[in-house]
Amino acid sequence: MDKRKILIVDDDIYICELIEMYLKKEGYKVCVAYDGVSVIEKFKEETPSLVILDIMLPKMDGWDVCREIKKISNVPIIMLTAKGDTFDKVLGLKLGADDYIVKPFEPRELIARVEAVLRRMGEKPVTTRSIILPNLSIDTDLYRVKINDKIIVLPPKEMELLYFLVKNKNIVFTREQLIENIWGFDFEGDIRTIDVHIKRIRKKLESLKNQYSIQTIWGVGYKFEVKNNA
């Protein structure tokens, strides 16, 4: 089994390409099948560590594919479907699926679910947890930030927020998206918590203001911007 390989099964080419792009960005290898009949052969050939499986497939639906895979392997399966019925979710879990996500979905939510399932199965996600830029490095495994070769201490949530923004540089995120990615979907605090953390991070990055900045996009949210001279 290749611990870095994920099999995507969906008849929508656009969905496959989108998921593939995000998975490869996180360091995973990807293989794809577009119908239910070819999945089992592809699964045996590629021996992936996880399967992302759409329910509505031509030739054989996702339920039957899930049954067939579970007959020969305990590889985790995340069911992917446009249906949000509780019945579908319960049936998928009864058939052995390990998680379930409803279209449309945020690609980063899917990545988070992939990593969570792999952790539960005892596999270490391959996502890189360090970033090195000129005069700025972030290592979340060691919880260490270096600015101009000087180690800067950040509380855990500031560290995670900075890492997320830098990793997704030049992409704008709403406060809600940042809350979901850093604190989780069950966060019940004040959404303006983000503003407080951003203010503190900006202060610590002050010496790098000619290279990097966290920009406020009014009416939308925030982004980490790399300037032309960086």
- Regarding predicted confidence, which is higher, 224 or 89? 224
| CATH superfamily membership of 5-120 | Response regulator (3.40.50.2300)
What DSSP line would sit under the chain, residue for residue?
Answer: --TTEEEEE-S-HHHHHHHHHHHHHTT-EEEEE-SHHHHHHHHHHH--SEEEEESS-SSS-HHHHHHHHHHH----EEEEES---HHHHHHHHHTT-SEEEESS--HHHHHHHHHHHHHHTTPPP----EEEETTEEEETTTTEEEETTEEE---HHHHHHHHHHHHTTT--EEHHHHHHHHT-TT--S-TTHHHHHHHHHHHHTGGGTTTEEEEEETTTEEEEEE-TT-
Whole-structure pTM value? 0.55
Average pLDDT over residues 108-116: 84
Mean pLDDT of the chain: 84
Per-residue model confidence as pLDDT tens digits over 32-62: 999 988 898 899 899 899 999 998 888 888 8
Tens of pLDDT, residues 21-35: 888 888 899 999 999
Say which CATH architecture domain 130-226 belongs to.
Orthogonal Bundle (1.10)
Alpha carbons within 13 angstroms on the beta-carbon side of residue 106 total 12
Domain residues of the chain, as ranges?
Answer: 5-120, 130-226
Which pLDDT score, from 0 to 100, does residue 77 have?
A: 92
